[in-house]
Amino acid sequence: DTAVSQTPKYLVTQMGNDKSIKCEQNLGHDTMYWYKQDSKKFLKIMFSYNNKELIINETVPNRFSPKSPDKAHLNLHINSLELGDSAVYFCASSQGGAQRETQYFGPGTRLLVL
């Protein structure tokens, strides 16, 4: 069974489009995250939710809007896609706050904006 799953795995789209990435975890964790990994493999946190409440919101353009319908799901909607949004987006989860807990990562969604 996949602990943290993401859909889709690959996403190729045109500039200006709106797209969503979905994430689900079956680990019973109460905290979920979105990370962006750029072409140089640099990994940066975007958002973190604990029990459906936003707790970390890094300096991300407001074109990016996370939504957590329940503890097991954290989706990412991106409006007006730009070339610079091309990256791999990782969802992760942990039990409790991030600072001392192990994070479990999904397989990633590879987004290419043309």
Partner 1 sequence: AQSVAQPEDQVNVAEGNPLTVKCTYSVSGNPYLFWYVQYPNRGLQFLLKYITGDNLVKGSYGFEAEFNKSQTSFHLKKPSALVSDSALYFCAVSLSGGYQKVTFGTGTKLQVIP
CA torsion angle for 66, 62, 60, 55 (degrees, to 10)?
-50
The verdict on 56 binding partner 1 (CB under 8 A) reads: yes
Least gap, CB of 71 to partner 1 (angstroms): 15
For residue 12, what are its two tokens? Answer: 């190729």
Alpha carbon 32 to chain centroid distance?
A: 8
Contact 43, 111 (CB under 8 A): no
The verdict on 40 binding partner 1 (CB under 8 A) reads: yes
* Interface with partner 1 (CB under 8 A), residue from 92, 93, 111, 113: 92
Query: By the criterion CB under 8 A, which residues form the site for partner 1?
Result: 4, 40-45, 48, 50, 55-56, 58, 90, 92, 97-100, 102-108
